[in-house]
Structure 1
Amino acid sequence: MTIKDQLSRTLLVKTTPKRIVSLVPSQTELLVNLGLEHQIVGLTKFCVHPKGLIKKKTVVGGTKQIHSDKLEALNPDIILCNKEENTKEIVDTCEEICPVHVSNVQTLEENYELIKQYGALFNKEPEAETLISKQKSEFSQLTNQLKGVKKKRVVYLIWRNPYMTIGNDTFINYLLKIAGFENVFANKSRYPELQLESLKDLAIDYVFLSSEPYPFNEKHFKDFKGIIDKSKLIKVDGEYFSWYGSRLLGAATYFKHLRASLGLGL
């Protein structure tokens, strides 16, 4: 069959792929939730969900660097990549081995599109439609509950040394808005670096310290002494703010709990 990925690249797949390599953690989790765990033969060292899966499969590297020899030895039918997570060089290398599907997700609609593409590609249409329907219902409810609610201004940090935040053309920025927050750096692009001292001059309600890709915790609060009040420093689950696929099934509930913990209404 002939299909197109999310970069409108055409893939020729003769039969339903049975041997899958996933180079994106959130997509690995999605495959399992679609009932494809046994078809996964290779993944990255960052594919930590579901717990224990990584011990059962062959690790072919990370998201930015792969061992092509290990990858080729798996004799995959298809390799799953992502425009942001993986490099063009990785995609090019993988295409020398077998067909490559590249995802590109920055909105909920693009997330639904990816799930639908996987459903068609792996003959899991009913499972895909069920997952999409559940996610649409949960986010529709959240959106309705947040209508008219004033958005709190947030700085969302993803890295330390140097400190990095998120701009407007990111999935995290999109989900912040869905959750009822305003990104202070929405006027910037991608993942800008910042000096913590510069936060003094901004109107900020909260600084969200993400659990990934950098594992922020309480010990990093000292970096903000004299800059941001400790009460405004909030640890957040980075997976719910950045992972697409089946992880989004619990995201709306997480956002509600986060808002409740901050004393914010719905």
Structure 2
Amino acid sequence: MVYVDQLNREINLINTPKCIISLVPSQTELLIDLGLGDKIVGITKFCVHPDTLRKEKTIVGGTKKINYNKIKALQPDIILCNKEENTKEIVETLEREYVVHVSDIFTLYDAFEMIEQYGKVFNIETKTNKLISEIKVEKESLDHFIKQLPKKRVVYFIWKDPWMAVGGNTFINHLLKLNNFENVYEDQTRYPEVSIDHIRSLTDIDLILLSSEPYPFSEKHVKEIKNSNTKAQVVLVDGEYFSWYGSRLLGAFAYFKTLHSK
């Protein structure tokens, strides 16, 4: 069978894959929740859900650097990658020897497309259609919840030293929009660096969000930001709900409601 991934690359499979390597944590969690855990043979060191997974599967590296010998020993039927999470070099090297599916996620609807593609590739379309429907219900509930709420100007930080914020053309920015948040840095690409002086100058923002990943922000960083900008509310947020685009989305919209109640 011939399938197409989200980079419009053709994927040729003779049979339904039974031996899977996932190089993307959120996609690994998705496989588990779709009942494909027993078919996963290789993961990254960042694939932390469920928390027992790294003891049960072979860790083949991270998302940017992998052990090709470990992958070769596992002889996968398919390897799952993502354009942003994994490097172009990794994808190009792997596709010389293996079937590689690459996702490319910027919106909720891209996530739905990826889930649909997995449904076809792994012959579990009933499960994937059900998951998508359930996520849509949760998203509609959030839409109704925030309908009467005022728009808030926000900054979402993902890193410190240097301080890095979320810009436009990112999945996180898309989810901020769904929350009726206006991203101060939407006009900049990807993850712009921001000086502490500039943080002090942001006098027209309502909310500063400090993500739990990839940088593990904590209460001491909340205090640091408050000392630099006393006008905005500063909140620690669960970064997985803002950046994991698989089955984690099922709980994301209920979580987002709690942010509007702070």
Please state which band the TM-score falls in when normalised by the shorter chain.
Answer: over 0.9
Report whether the alignment pairs 1:174 with 2:174: yes
Q: Deviations over 1:4-57 (max 9, x none)?
A: 000000010110000000000000000011110000000000000112111100
Residue 33 of structure 2 corresponds to which residue in structure 1? 33
Residue 212 of structure 1 corresponds to which residue in structure 2? 213
TM-score normalised to structure 1 length:
0.95
User: Do the aligned partners of 1:167 and 1:188 also contact (CA within 8 Å) in 2?
Assistant: yes
In 2: Cα distance, 1:59 partner to 1:51 partner: 13
In 2: Cα distance, 1:126 partner to 1:42 partner: 25
Where 1:65 maps in the other structure, the secondary structure is: coil
Q: Deviations over 1:90-112 (max 9, x none)?
A: 00121123100000111111111
Amino acid of the structure 1 residue aligned with 2:28: T
Residue 201 of structure 1 corresponds to which residue in structure 2? 201
Residue 239 of structure 1 corresponds to which residue in structure 2? 240
In 2: Cα distance, 1:238 partner to 1:200 partner: 24
Structure 2 runs not aligned, ≥5 long: none
1:150 offset after TM fit, Å? 1.7
User: Do the aligned partners of 2:222 and 2:236 also contact (CA within 8 Å) in 1?
Assistant: no
In 1: Cα distance, 2:73 partner to 2:96 partner: 13
In 2: Cα distance, 1:234 partner to 1:74 partner: 43
Q: Deviations over 1:168-222 (max 9, x none)?
A: 1000000011122111111111100010211222211111110000000012234
In 2: Cα distance, 1:162 partner to 1:174 partner: 23
Task: Name which of structure 1's ranges 183-192 and 246-255 shifts more when overlaid on structure 2.
Answer: 183-192
Report whether the alignment pairs 1:252 with 2:253: yes
Report whether the alignment pairs 1:114 with 2:98: no
User: Do the aligned partners of 2:164 and 2:194 also contact (CA within 8 Å) in 1?
Assistant: yes
Q: How many residues align?
A: 261
Amino acid of the structure 2 residue aligned with 1:153: R
1:147 offset after TM fit, Å? 2.4
Report whether the alignment pairs 1:8 with 2:8: yes
User: Do the aligned partners of 2:25 and 2:47 also contact (CA within 8 Å) in 1?
Assistant: yes
Report whether the alignment pairs 1:229 with 2:246: no
Where 1:134 maps in the other structure, the secondary structure is: helix
In 2: Cα distance, 1:225 partner to 1:35 partner: 44
TM-score normalised to structure 2 length:
0.96
Where 1:241 maps in the other structure, the secondary structure is: helix
Amino acid of the structure 2 residue aligned with 1:211: S
1:65 offset after TM fit, Å? 0.2
In 2: Cα distance, 1:156 partner to 1:225 partner: 14
Report whether the alignment pairs 1:162 with 2:162: yes
In 2: Cα distance, 1:225 partner to 1:147 partner: 29
In 2: Cα distance, 1:33 partner to 1:115 partner: 12
Structure 1 runs not aligned, ≥5 long: none
User: Do the aligned partners of 1:240 and 1:251 also contact (CA within 8 Å) in 2?
Assistant: yes
User: Do the aligned partners of 1:119 and 1:128 also contact (CA within 8 Å) in 2?
Assistant: yes
Where 1:128 maps in the other structure, the secondary structure is: helix
In 2: Cα distance, 1:142 partner to 1:221 partner: 26
Residue 187 of structure 1 corresponds to which residue in structure 2? 187
In 2: Cα distance, 1:148 partner to 1:167 partner: 26
What is the percent sequence identity of the aligned residues?
A: 56
Amino acid of the structure 1 residue aligned with 2:258: H
In 1: Cα distance, 2:250 partner to 2:126 partner: 16
Where 2:248 maps in the other structure, the secondary structure is: helix
